[in-house]
Amino acid sequence: MQISGAGRTWQIDDTGALKMALEWRDSRGGAEFWLAHEGGAYPCLAVRLDGSAADVHYFPDAEHPGFRCLGGAGLPAGGVTKLVYEGCDPGDGEEVPNEFIVTAAVAARLAEAFFRSGEKSAEVEWMELWEN
C-alpha cells in the first residue's frame, strides 16, 4: 500500500508501518493522507486529522464522488469541527459538519480495514455522495 500526504510518501507492508505513518503530523499539528493499493490506483481512502478528530472518505473509482464516513458521536448535532493541516482551505482550517467527524482511533481502524481488504469498512455507516 502507498500512503501520501503533505509531500511525503510511505510504502506500507504491514499494520505496524501503517500505524506509524498515520501517527505522523505536519507542522500545523494535523495531517491529510491518501491511501491506495497498486501505486495510487482506485479504490482509495482519504483521511484528514487534527488532534483526535478525523474525517474519512472512500473513493471506489475515478468516476464515483465517493462515500463519507458517518460519525458525530458525542458532538453537538448541527455543529462543525475545524480541521487544521497543511494545505487546508481556507488557510486557518476547514469546517467539517460534526456528522462526519470520527475519532483518530476510528480513522486508524478504517485505514487498517482498507489496508487488509481494499474496501470500505463495514464497522461504520457511510453516506454515498452520489447515487446512480
pLDDT higher than 60, residue 132: no
pTM of the predicted protein model: 0.93
Q: What is the DSSP letter of 14?
A: S
d(CA 132, CA 79): 29
126 forms beta bridges with 69
Secondary structure of 66-108 in HEC code, one letter for each residue: CEEECCCCCCCCCCEEEECCCCCCCCCCEEEEHHHCEEHHHHH
* pLDDT bracket for residue 131 (50, 70, 90): low
Instruction: Please report which helix (H) or strand (E) contains residue 49, including its range.
Output: strand 44-50
Burial of residue 127 (number of CB atoms within 10 Å: 0-12, 13-18, 19+): exposed
pLDDT higher than 80, residue 89: no
pLDDT higher than 60, residue 92: yes
d(CA 17, CA 23): 10
pLDDT higher than 90, residue 130: no
Ranges of H-type helices in 6-132 = 15-23, 104-117
